[in-house]
Amino acid sequence: MSRQRRNFTAEQKADVVRRHLKDKVAISQLATELGIQPNQIYQWVAAVMAQAEKAFQVTPGRRSGSLQTKIEQSKDRQIKRLQEKLQLKNEVISELMEENVKAKKDNGDL
Protein backbone atom coordinates (compact mmCIF):
# COMPACT_ATOMS: atom_id res chain seq x y z
CA MET A 1 0.00 0.00 0.00
CA SER A 2 1.48 3.37 -0.99
CA ARG A 3 1.34 6.37 1.26
CA GLN A 4 -0.27 9.54 -0.01
CA ARG A 5 2.07 12.49 -0.44
CA ARG A 6 1.53 15.22 2.15
CA ASN A 7 1.58 18.86 1.15
CA PHE A 8 2.46 21.52 3.69
CA THR A 9 1.51 25.16 3.28
CA ALA A 10 4.16 27.86 3.35
CA GLU A 11 2.82 28.90 6.75
CA GLN A 12 3.21 25.38 8.14
CA LYS A 13 6.76 25.11 6.79
CA ALA A 14 7.67 28.50 8.26
CA ASP A 15 6.25 27.46 11.62
CA VAL A 16 8.36 24.27 11.64
CA VAL A 17 11.53 26.19 10.72
CA ARG A 18 10.73 28.85 13.33
CA ARG A 19 10.27 26.20 16.02
CA HIS A 20 13.62 24.68 15.13
CA LEU A 21 15.58 27.94 14.94
CA LYS A 22 13.90 30.00 17.65
CA ASP A 23 12.63 27.42 20.13
CA LYS A 24 15.56 25.02 19.55
CA VAL A 25 13.28 22.04 18.95
CA ALA A 26 15.31 19.16 17.50
CA ILE A 27 14.74 18.38 13.84
CA SER A 28 14.29 14.71 14.66
CA GLN A 29 11.49 15.58 17.09
CA LEU A 30 9.76 17.83 14.55
CA ALA A 31 10.07 15.17 11.86
CA THR A 32 8.53 12.57 14.16
CA GLU A 33 5.64 14.90 15.04
CA LEU A 34 4.92 15.57 11.38
CA GLY A 35 5.58 12.06 10.14
CA ILE A 36 8.18 13.18 7.59
CA GLN A 37 11.87 12.59 7.01
CA PRO A 38 14.29 14.94 8.83
CA ASN A 39 15.93 15.70 5.49
CA GLN A 40 12.74 17.49 4.43
CA ILE A 41 13.04 19.90 7.36
CA TYR A 42 16.73 20.46 6.60
CA GLN A 43 15.68 21.46 3.07
CA TRP A 44 13.13 23.94 4.46
CA VAL A 45 15.76 25.46 6.76
CA ALA A 46 18.19 25.73 3.84
CA ALA A 47 15.53 27.49 1.75
CA VAL A 48 14.95 30.02 4.53
CA MET A 49 18.67 30.65 4.93
CA ALA A 50 19.10 31.11 1.18
CA GLN A 51 16.51 33.90 1.27
CA ALA A 52 17.77 35.53 4.50
CA GLU A 53 19.82 38.25 2.81
CA LYS A 54 16.70 39.59 1.06
CA ALA A 55 15.38 40.66 4.46
CA PHE A 56 18.23 43.15 4.77
CA GLN A 57 18.40 44.47 1.22
CA VAL A 58 17.50 48.11 0.68
CA THR A 59 15.54 48.85 -2.45
CA PRO A 60 16.99 51.60 -4.67
CA GLY A 61 15.64 55.04 -3.86
CA ARG A 62 14.32 54.04 -0.47
CA ARG A 63 16.01 54.18 2.86
CA SER A 64 15.82 51.27 5.23
CA GLY A 65 12.91 51.82 7.60
CA SER A 66 10.92 53.85 5.07
CA LEU A 67 7.39 54.71 6.16
CA GLN A 68 5.87 53.36 2.97
CA THR A 69 4.96 49.73 3.55
CA LYS A 70 4.40 47.00 1.01
CA ILE A 71 0.66 47.45 1.44
CA GLU A 72 0.91 51.13 0.56
CA GLN A 73 3.09 50.32 -2.44
CA SER A 74 0.56 47.75 -3.59
CA LYS A 75 -2.27 50.28 -3.26
CA ASP A 76 -0.23 52.87 -5.18
CA ARG A 77 0.33 50.38 -8.02
CA GLN A 78 -3.37 49.54 -8.06
CA ILE A 79 -4.35 53.23 -8.15
CA LYS A 80 -1.94 53.86 -11.03
CA ARG A 81 -3.29 50.85 -12.93
CA LEU A 82 -6.89 52.01 -12.41
CA GLN A 83 -6.02 55.56 -13.51
CA GLU A 84 -4.47 54.20 -16.71
CA LYS A 85 -7.56 52.07 -17.31
CA LEU A 86 -9.83 55.08 -16.76
CA GLN A 87 -7.74 57.18 -19.15
CA LEU A 88 -8.07 54.49 -21.82
CA LYS A 89 -11.85 54.33 -21.31
CA ASN A 90 -12.08 58.12 -21.62
CA GLU A 91 -10.16 58.00 -24.91
CA VAL A 92 -12.47 55.30 -26.27
CA ILE A 93 -15.56 57.27 -25.23
CA SER A 94 -14.17 60.39 -26.89
CA GLU A 95 -13.53 58.52 -30.15
CA LEU A 96 -17.01 56.99 -30.10
CA MET A 97 -18.62 60.38 -29.50
CA GLU A 98 -16.68 61.87 -32.42
CA GLU A 99 -17.80 59.01 -34.68
CA ASN A 100 -21.39 59.45 -33.49
CA VAL A 101 -21.37 63.19 -34.24
CA LYS A 102 -19.84 62.55 -37.68
CA ALA A 103 -22.47 59.90 -38.45
CA LYS A 104 -25.28 62.24 -37.42
CA LYS A 105 -23.87 65.01 -39.62
CA ASP A 106 -23.62 62.61 -42.58
CA ASN A 107 -27.26 61.51 -42.07
CA GLY A 108 -28.45 65.11 -41.71
CA ASP A 109 -29.57 64.68 -38.12
CA LEU A 110 -27.46 67.64 -36.98
Specify the number of domains making up the chain. 2
The confidence band for 67, taking pLDDT boundaries of 50, 70 and 90, is low
Range of the domain at 11: 7-54
At residue 33, the 3 state secondary structure works out as helix
**Residue 38, Cβ density class (10 Å: 0-12 exposed, 13-18 middle, ≥19 buried):** middle
The proportion of the chain whose per-residue pLDDT surpasses 70, expressed as a percent, equals 87
Q: Rounded to two decimals, what is the model's pTM?
A: 0.50
CB 34 within 8 A of CB 16: yes
Rounded mean pLDDT, 60-66? 57
Residues 47 and 83 in one domain: no
Rounded mean pLDDT, 45-64? 78
Q: What burial letters (b/e) apply to 70-103, b meaning 16+ CB within 10 Å? A: eeeeeeeeeeeeeeeeeeeeeeeeeeeeeeeeee
Residues 15 and 50 in one domain: yes
- The amino acid present at 78, given as its one-letter code, is Q
Return the pLDDT at 36: 93
40 found inside a domain: yes
Residues 82 and 48 in one domain: no
| Pairwise pLDDT comparison (104 vs 61), residue with the higher score | 104
